[in-house]
Amino acid sequence: MNSPVIKRSVTIAGHKTSVTLEDAFWKALKDIATSRQMTSSDLVTWIDAGRAHGNLSSRLRLFVLDFYLNGSVRRISKPPSKKRSRNSRLQIPENQERLVAQRCR
C-alpha cells in the first residue's frame, strides 16, 4: 500500500498549524471523527489537549493506532459540544486527559 506523506493545515483552538500525515492516517482520523460525530479539527484539538509533549503528527498516528488496536472508541467520549471562544481549548474530563497522556508515553 502506497500512502504518500502530505502536509495538511489544521486549526487548533483558533490557531492554524500543520501536520504531516500519510493519507491512510488522515482518512482514519476523519473516519474516527465522523464516528464520534465531531469534525476532524475538533478531534485533532481534543488529541492535542492531551499531549504533554512531542510532535503532534506522531501523536495523531499513535492515537489512530491505539484506536484500532484497543478499541479506544469505548473509552473516549465525545468532548462537550458547548460553544467556546476561538482561543479556548476543549474541556476534557480529568480521567480521560490522564488516559490520553498515559497512551502518549
Q: 65: domain range?
A: 5-104
Phi, psi of 58 (to 5 degrees): -65, -40
Grid look-up 493545515 returns 9
Give the torsion sign (CA, 37, 14, 17, 75).
Answer: negative
Q: pLDDT tens, 8-29?
A: 998 888 889 999 999 999 999 9
Whether residue 84 is predicted with pLDDT greater than 60 in this model: the reply is no
CA 39 from chain centre, in angstroms, equals 10
**Predicted pLDDT of residue 37:** 92
Percent of the chain whose predicted confidence (pLDDT) is above 70: 65
Indicate whether this model's pTM tops 0.85. Answer: no
Least trusted range by pLDDT, from 4-8, 27-31, 94-98: 94-98
Which residues are paired to 12 by β-bridges? 15
d(CA 45, CA 81): 13
- Total domains in the chain come to 1
Q: Which CATH number belongs to the domain containing residue 37 in this structure?
A: 1.10.3990
